[in-house]
Amino acid sequence: MKPAPFAYRRPETLEAALEALAGESGAKVLAGGQSLVPLLSMRLAAPTVLVDVNRLPGLDEVSVTDDEVRVGALVRHADLLVDERARAVQPLLAMALAHVAHATIRNRGTTVGSIVHADAAAEMPTVLALLGGSVEVASLRGRRTIAAGDLFAGPLESTLAADELALAAAFPVLRPGEGVGFAEIARRHGDYALCGVAGVVRLEEGRAAEARLGYLSVNDVPTVVDVTGLDAEAAAERALERLEPADDVHATAAYRAQLVRVLTKRVLAAATDHARGRADG
């Protein structure tokens, strides 16, 4: 199937891009296109205008400070995956990005684009939610920062306004005493996960003072569960109280629930070991 007809704009300044978005209620942003183009081809999306932002300057940079990793809107998954500065201060990024689709898609797809696409089966929205990150957006009305907890409104729905362009995502760095882990199960490597879990554990005097887990492919939105003070069995049951595993053509709800139990234990152990290794190192 071919996409429905649409106009195409390729602005070379941020102001021109924002004007294009503000001037047409049916406009969509094209960055990597790895989510949008298939939707166009299946006519699940029919924008009147595509605003291609690939010529906008300054959006293809990764910057690392003492507090955060800032990822520009045109940074490809593959580039962030191999960024040693980002890996050093927030290794969860690389852990999760290694599971994003296939190399061809990672070479073109953008991390920020994946986040604002708000697919609860994707890795990076869950990572942003777990870490308490944020997204910077702009429109002709000005700029604002949306905290991850306020970003995901529903299935494939974010709280960006139609005339807003995502400029960057910010991921907090790993703090002293913290460790991270990530695991997912898919039918084939590169497929969407049947269930995935990301975790952060903070140790104090060798014990877990804080533990949080983020789940993908289980709820309609990325879901973070605080499991502080719980052992692995209790943490899995706490998570299932917050999650709603469902049947689909790939797995039954019962199977997904079992994956939640297995991956919760695996990621909690991995994040705890990572925190201990950092403390010993």
Residues 195, 246, single domain; the answer is: yes
Mean pLDDT, to the nearest integer, of 171-187?
97
pLDDT reading at 258 higher than 90:
yes
Residues 194, 275, single domain; the answer is: yes
The helices-and-strands tally (H runs, E runs) of the chain is 10, 14
Query: The domain that contains 224 carries what CATH number?
Result: 3.30.390.50
In 3D space, the residue among 179, 158, 174, 150 whose CA is nearest the CA of residue 69 turns out to be 174
Residue at 163 is within a domain? yes
Residues 256, 273, single domain; the answer is: yes
Residues 81, 159, single domain; the answer is: yes
- What is the model's pLDDT at position 280? 82
Residue at 230 is within a domain? yes
Residue at 2 is within a domain? no
Q: pLDDT tens-digit profile of 51-71? A: 999 999 999 999 999 999 999
Q: pLDDT tens-digit profile of 224-235? A: 999 999 999 999
- What is the model's pLDDT at position 37? 87
Residues 164, 234, single domain; the answer is: no
Residues 200, 261, single domain; the answer is: yes
Q: pLDDT tens-digit profile of 11-24? A: 999 999 999 999 88
Query: Total structural domains in the chain?
Result: 3
- What is the model's pLDDT at position 25? 85
User: Per the structure block, which two tokens stand in for 184?
Assistant: 């997912």
Q: What is the mean pLDDT of the chain?
A: 96
- What is the model's pLDDT at position 172? 98
* Structural domain for 167, as ranges: 62-171
Separation CA 145–CA 135 (nearest Å) = 6
Q: pLDDT tens-digit profile of 108-162? A: 999 999 999 999 999 999 999 999 999 999 999 999 999 999 999 999 999 999 9
Residues 41, 79, single domain; the answer is: no
pLDDT reading at 100 higher than 80:
yes
- What is the model's pLDDT at position 44? 82
Residue listed under structure tokens 């690389």 = 94
Length of the chain: 281
pLDDT reading at 1 higher than 80:
no
pLDDT reading at 260 higher than 90:
yes
Query: The domain that contains 37 carries what CATH number?
Result: 3.30.43.10
Q: What share of the chain is helix, strand, coil (3-state, %, to 5)?
A: 35, 30, 40
What is the dihedral sign for C-alpha 80, 144, 66, 264?
Answer: negative
Q: Given pLDDT bands bounded at 50, 70 and 90, which one contains residue 105?
A: very high
Residue at 124 is within a domain? yes
In 3D space, the residue among 216, 188, 197, 214 whose CA is nearest the CA of residue 102 turns out to be 188
pTM over cut 0.85: yes
Residue at 134 is within a domain? yes
Residues 244, 166, single domain; the answer is: no
